A and B are shown apart, each in its own frame.
Chain A
Amino acid sequence: MKWLRFLAFGLVGMLAVGSVAFLVAAWVYRDIPAEELEARYTTPASRFLNVDGVRIHYRDEGSGQPLVLIHANFGSLLSWDSWVDALKDQHRILRFDLTGHGLTGPDPSGDYSLERAVRLTERFVDALGLTRFAIGGTSLGGTVAMHYAAAHPERVERLILLSPGALEGRSQQKAGRSVPPIANILKYITPRALAAYMLKSRFGDPTKVDDKLIDQWYEMWLREGQRAAILARLRTYSSADLETVTAAVRVPTLILWGEKNPQAPVGQAEELRKMLVNARGGQIITYPGVGHMAADEAGPVIARDVRAFLDTGN
């Protein structure tokens, strides 16, 4: 009878482990309904605008010369909080969540290409009636901003590139690196530790990553449909014909870069400046000890330099 007891214990044990695994899986799989996130993250400055079938979330703050800001991959418009605080007294700042990010959510067209991101940016600023403005972005957002400035020199007064991901994207493309199929599991199981890891690896000083920021990223990722959208964007990302795009940029450009940036090493700043052959200025400012998510890590310091760039008449 000993073996029967052993079998019973084994079955109960397996059942218990299975139940716990199921509960954990159910918990990590959970999507957060859009309404719940909107209630948590919208402010009086939040707006929603239907553009080309996409319900874009944006914030419109401050008054003065307009500045459009585009955030990084995996992030949201919240990355610009410190810039808004520093600049809104003299600038109208319009920042929006890209599709598959923040409160904008997935693109019903399923198109997450760079071309689509640029097109949506065009429609967005058209819908807001902006005719002349400065535009800036970081990482993926920097690449989008650069493409926009190249295509619309008549509307862009100044361009601000905070460690844009274009060059890194291109080298990944050349190396044939892509997202492996196994990554699909992230659509169902997304531990909070992944958000913490990604943020810490993108900060020059990981101790500056706080729980609030990790929760912000993590909860935005869990918005319904978001995880599939993030993976789809990673799979379709292309930096396009960078030489042609950079040569078409003719506006005064400020290049900002964290020196402790493994994702897009600081040497790319000079490489990019050389490619921006027709941009006026092409000035570079670097920040020691700052990583890739520089807007989150050193926003107030960098905003001072942005302000100087926007306010001087050269």
Chain B
Amino acid sequence: MRFSQPFPAPLALVLTLLVALVSGPLSAQATSAQPKPTTPPGKESSTWNASTIPAPLRPPTADGSLSLRVYGSAQDRLPPATQPWRADEGYAVDVSAVMTRCEDGSLVITALVIGGQLTPLDNRCRSASESKPAATPPSCDAKRWNCKTSEAPPAN
């Protein structure tokens, strides 16, 4: 679904509901396994409940790609041009990332492309010196109770 295309009305409603009712980030909701939500007392179940939120096809990988998803109800059928790849109910928002695989193996998002617009971020790979572990703790002081050479913790 591209932002440049008009939102179908049901989808807009679902999006509004999602934003208003769901606590927690959208991406986390979309990419992590969903506990079955319970219907609050006195409230009817709505279209955003578990039956309309399919589980991800596969669990996210440790360094998986950025994937933001918005899920609509099963009744919301998209026009053919925006049908999702494979038969799942979700369809990706047009958000992608420019990432850098740093030399220490970490993956840093350096820019976001939202609706075709590139938004650079300040994130950069840490330099080799920054990646080094913190300096070693000060050498043992025999007067401290946690020192190996100490016979016993000091009495308070």
Residues of A with C-beta under 8 A to B102: 288
CA A130 to CA B36, docked complex, whole Å:
40
In the complex the two chains form, is A311's CB within 8 Å of B100's CB? no
A270 to B110, CA, bound (A): 12
**Known contacts A281-B92, A287-B100: A308-B58 contact under CB 8 Å:** no
Residue pair B86, A313 in contact (C-beta under 8 Å): yes
Partner among B56, B64, B98, B103 whose Cβ is within 8 Å of the Cβ of A308: B64
* Chain B residues touching A, majority SS: loop
Instruction: Count A-B pairs with CB separation below 8 Å.
Output: 79
Say yes or no for B88: interface residue by CB 8 A criterion. Answer: yes
- In whole Å, how far is B106's beta carbon from the nearest beta carbon of chain A? 11
Contacting pair B99 A314 (CB below 8 A): no
CB <8 Å contact, B61 and A312: yes
Residue of B nearest to A301 (CB): B101
User: Does B45 sit at the interface, judged by CB under 8 A?
Assistant: no
Contacts of A252 in B (CB 8 A): 85
Check A285 for interface membership: any CB of B closer than 8 A: yes
Q: Decide if A289 is an interface residue (CB 8 Å cutoff).
A: yes
Complex formed: what's the CA distance from A259 to B66 in Å?
Answer: 20
Which A256-314 residues have a C-beta within 8 angstroms of B? Answer: 259, 269-270, 273-274, 280-289, 301-302, 304-305, 307-309, 311-314
Give the distance in Å from the alpha carbon of A283 to the alpha carbon of B57 in the complex: 19
Chain B residues near A283 (CB, 8 Å)?
A: 65-66, 96-99
Let me know if A311 and B58 touch, CB within 8 A.
Answer: yes
Q: How far is the CB of B132 from chain A (nearest CB, A)?
A: 17
User: With the chains together, A287 CA to B63 CA distance in Å?
Assistant: 15
Contact of B85 among A280, A285, A301, A304 (CB under 8 A): A280
Q: Which residues of B contact A302 (CB under 8 A)?
A: 101
Q: How large is the interface on B (under 10, 10 to 19, 20 to 34, 35 or more residues)?
A: 20 to 34
One of A157, A274, A289, A312 near B65 (C-beta < 8 A):
A312
The digit string for B13-48, where 1 denotes a CB below 8 A from any CB of A, is 000000000000000000000000000000000000
Give the shortest distance, in Å, between A245 (CB) and chain B (any CB).
Answer: 19
Contacts of A287 in B (CB 8 A): 100-101
Query: Does chain A have a CB within 8 A of B11?
Result: no
Q: A212 to nearest B CB, angstroms? A: 23
Q: How far is the CB of B60 from chain A (nearest CB, A)?
A: 7
Chain A residues with Cβ below 8 Å from B116 are 274
Q: Is the CB of B86 within 8 A of A308?
A: no
What is the CB-to-nearest-CB distance from A41 to chain B, in angstroms, rounded to a whole number? 30
B109-139 interface code vs A (CB 8 A; 1 in, 0 out): 0100100101000000100000000000000
Shortest Cβ gap from A180 to chain B (Å): 38
**Would A312 and B67 be within 8 Å (CB), given that A281-B92, A288-B103 are in contact?**
yes
Q: A286-B98, A289-B103 are in contact. List 14 more A-B contacts (CB 8 A).
A: A283-B96, A283-B98, A284-B96, A285-B99, A285-B101, A286-B110, A288-B100, A288-B102, A304-B63, A305-B101, A308-B61, A308-B63, A312-B58, A313-B57
Can you identify 21 A-B contacts, CB atoms within 8 angstroms? A280-B85, A281-B96, A283-B66, A283-B96, A284-B99, A286-B99, A286-B101, A286-B110, A302-B101, A305-B107, A307-B61, A308-B63, A311-B58, A312-B57, A312-B58, A312-B61, A312-B67, A313-B56, A313-B57, A313-B86, A314-B65
Q: Which residues of A contact B (CB under 8 A)?
A: 157, 251-252, 254, 259, 269-270, 273-274, 280-289, 301-302, 304-305, 307-309, 311-314
Residues of B within 8 A of A (CB): 56-58, 60-61, 63-67, 69, 85-86, 88, 92, 96-103, 105, 107, 110, 113, 116, 118, 125
